[in-house]
Amino acid sequence: MLVLSIGHWFLHPAVYFDGDKILGCHVCTGMNYTDIGFYGVYGKAIDTTLKAVMKRRGSRVGSDRNGSIDVIVTTFTPAHFEGEWDKLGACSKIKPYKEGEIELINMDAEMRKSELDIVKVAKKKAKRFKNLRLEALDVTKLSLMRPDGHPGPYMYPYPFANGVGDHVQNDCVHWCLPGPIDTWNEILLDVMRRWSGKSNRVE
């Protein structure tokens, strides 16, 4: 099984290449490249990966189940920073949001849409292959509701052993175990159960 879970690294400054060709960059002040943002490159990365998987699958047409490939694309998971990342309380919520309390908008919504659109197209193309399973694990909205699921200042042990300093490093991007990831795993297991025993690998 191949699980693709990407996203937040694309927000960092970068120069983008396609082979030997420079496509552009993101946050590249002082460099002689066109700033193309990250949305298009993010989608291209997912699309290129799925095409590579299908190309590999295509070279094994007619093979048995031992040559099968299962692909899960996990959708973008929102961060929950409030205020400055290096100050106490950057993500201090201890309960999930209630229904209707927060809305999926802007970057989080765009990143999710890009992934779902690409997976939808890829699933249609993949139908010509045997023993290929392909699905999106849509956890964006679910994750948005869980501001309480991040390590916060506890990304390292005992952050306040010597009191509260002027700077408190917070992790409001990654997720705790146990927590929301347990729910993602339950959804993944449900997908696998629904797939179990089916000969057509793409639905």
Q: Which amino acid is at 124?
A: K
Q: Is the pLDDT of residue 81 over 50?
A: yes
Mean pLDDT confidence for 20-43: 95
Query: Residue 67 — very low, low, confident or very high, per pLDDT cuts 50/70/90?
Result: low
pLDDT tens, position by position, 137-166: 999 999 999 999 999 999 889 999 989 888
Give 84-100 pLDDT, tens digit per residue.
878 888 899 999 999 99
Per-chain mean pLDDT for the chain:
89
Q: State the SS3 of the chain.
A: CEEECCCHHHHCCEEEEECCEEEEEECCCCCCCCECCCHHHHHHHHHHHHHHHHHHHHCCCCCCHHHCEEEEEECCCCCCCCCCCCCCCCCCCCCCCCCCCCCCCHHHHHHHHHHHHHHHHHHHHHCCCCCEEEEEECCHHHHHCCHHHCCEHHHCCCCCECECCCCCCCECCCCCCCCHHHHHHHHHHHHHHHHCCCCCCCC
User: What's the pLDDT at 131?
Assistant: 77
pLDDT score, position 45: 95
Question: What value does the mean pLDDT take over residues 171-180?
Answer: 89
Which residue, among 118, 177, 108, has the nearest Cα to 145 in the 3D structure? 108
Per-residue pLDDT, 199: 47
Query: pTM for the whole thing?
Result: 0.86
- Best CA proximity match to 72, nearest among 198, 179, 189: 189
Mean pLDDT on 67-87: 88
Q: Could you tell me the pLDDT band of residue 197, with boundaries at 50, 70 and 90?
A: low
pLDDT at 65: 53
